[in-house]
Structure 1
Amino acid sequence: MQFNLRTQPVSTRDAVYMQLKEQILKLELVPGTPLSENETSLLFNVSRTPVRESFLRLAQEGLVQVLPQRGTFVSLIDTGLVEEARFMREQLEKAVIRLACSDFPEAFLARLEENLSNQQECIRKKDDKSMFELDEHFHRILFEGCSKSNTWSLMQQMNAHLNRSRMLRLVDDHNWEHLYEQHRRMAEAIKLHDSAAAERIMSEHLALNIADQALLKEKYPNYYI
């Protein structure tokens, strides 16, 4: 399969970088996968320069590891970085949902409801990639509705390892009803201006990552460090 990036409204370098990053985050390139500049340039129909630059950029983000004399690989999921990102996310998300319970525009409530409806469709279809995107979008709506979009963007810079672990959880187990139910209860708490309930549900929701990661590391030991 070959990718044509020439029609992308960004530079070739950025298009290669974004495509590779998406493949890594969505586990289309699993942890430990060897990466070749030559093969990747042929796959994307580009020169080796944007591929090399993309590899370096991804290495700076901790998604790619360059080992002298051995080659370039998709990095393993670092459990320490997963926990640190989860800790940061928990503090920020609890603060944001408290704000949402105080003042959250109707237009954003409608977006949450639409998102929840789409989550139900994903559960029916067992579409793990779309479910991950909807999960992310649900939380992003909370930040946007509280005028904290920049906070969301900064948080995302630390989420790469956490997001891969979350994606692996969705791929491994398609029983997502509890995720949907927690999201639904969050939206309901916001409507009722019940900040105590909203914060409690958010904590329960994000705490799932702790138990999930232990199980995933046992089941997929070659994916983790």
Structure 2
Amino acid sequence: MTMNGPILPGTMDISLPLIRQQPQPTVADQVFDTLQQRILTLELPPQTKISETEVSRLMGVSRQPVREAFKRLAKLGFLQIRPQSGTTVSLISEEAVLRAQFIRTALEVKTCRKACETATAQALAPLHSLIARQKDAFAAKDRDMFHALDEEFHIAICELAGVRFVWDLIHESKAHMDRIRMLSLNTTSQQLALQEHIAILDAIAAGNADAAEAAMTEHLSRIVVLIDEVKKQQHSFFQETDT
């Protein structure tokens, strides 16, 4: 900043470095996305040992982007990096799951109410299509497709409400919930999720904001029950909590 005269309002008198734009996603982004997906789908279950060297070799990249991805995953709570004993996939934190559920409920309830204001027959068509496809996936016992369509359904509600950006916020926090959902994604839980989706859609289609809020709240609160069910079957996957 120069000191030779007054700085006029609305002017900027500083030097800034030139930023070279990089194509997106970067290699580190791709490594991060791949590893996070493997963790969320439990292909890399809790306590699995994972190394920068092995990931670099398998993915055909240098260690630097892998190191960056590891740091991001550790910051989000999915990896534990211990210099002396190596890196492992983190145990599931019940606290992190409930925190994510709180954030997601607050955002999606508001989104549902807003969607009721824009719920024309044409605008609702993608949601009806997703429900039909989820029914097909359930009938075909295609668990992975069912899970993918579940996520698409929630994204479609954000788009219907005109707040697609909300899903980006939800996506950042919901990952801890996803491991629970994948562990509990059996026939019964899929059927319940489908019924709850139908209830949410019916309420939005009717323009009933209170009913839509209640249906979404019930849908997202079921994670609390799922935690208890999963802990009984896979107790070793969870962090010990103070009593």
Please report the TM-score for the alignment, with normalisation by the length of structure 2: 0.83
Distance in 1 separating the partners of 2:25 and 2:195 = 38
Deviates more, 1:207-216 or 1:157-166: 157-166
1:217 aligns with 2:231: yes
Residue from 63, 76, 91 that aligns with 1:76: 91
1:174 aligns with 2:174: no
- Deviation per residue, 1:64-112 (Å, 9 max, x gap): 1102311101111110010111112112211211111222354441110
- Deviation per residue, 1:178-215 (Å, 9 max, x gap): 21111112111111112222222112211211111111
1:99 aligns with 2:114: yes
1:204 aligns with 2:218: yes
Would the aligned equivalents of 1:190 and 1:198 in 2 still touch at CA under 8 Å?
A: yes
State the match for 1:36 in structure 2: 51
Task: Determine which structure has the larger helix proportion and give its number.
Answer: 1
TM-superposed CA distance for 1:122, in Å, is: 1.3
Would the aligned equivalents of 2:196 and 2:215 in 1 still touch at CA under 8 Å?
A: yes
Q: Structure 1 unaligned runs (5+)?
A: 1-7
Q: Structure 2 unaligned runs (5+)?
A: 1-22
- Deviation per residue, 1:137-164 (Å, 9 max, x gap): 1111111111212222112212221121
1:161 aligns with 2:176: yes
Would the aligned equivalents of 1:105 and 1:145 in 2 still touch at CA under 8 Å?
A: no
State the match for 2:157 in structure 1: 142
State the match for 1:192 in structure 2: 206
When the two chains are superposed, the root-mean-square deviation of aligned CA atoms in Å is: 1.7
SS state at 1:159 partner: helix
| Number of aligned residues | 216
SS state at 2:116 partner: helix
State the match for 2:126 in structure 1: 111
TM-superposed CA distance for 1:9, in Å, is: 7.0
Distance in 2 separating the partners of 1:104 and 1:67 = 50
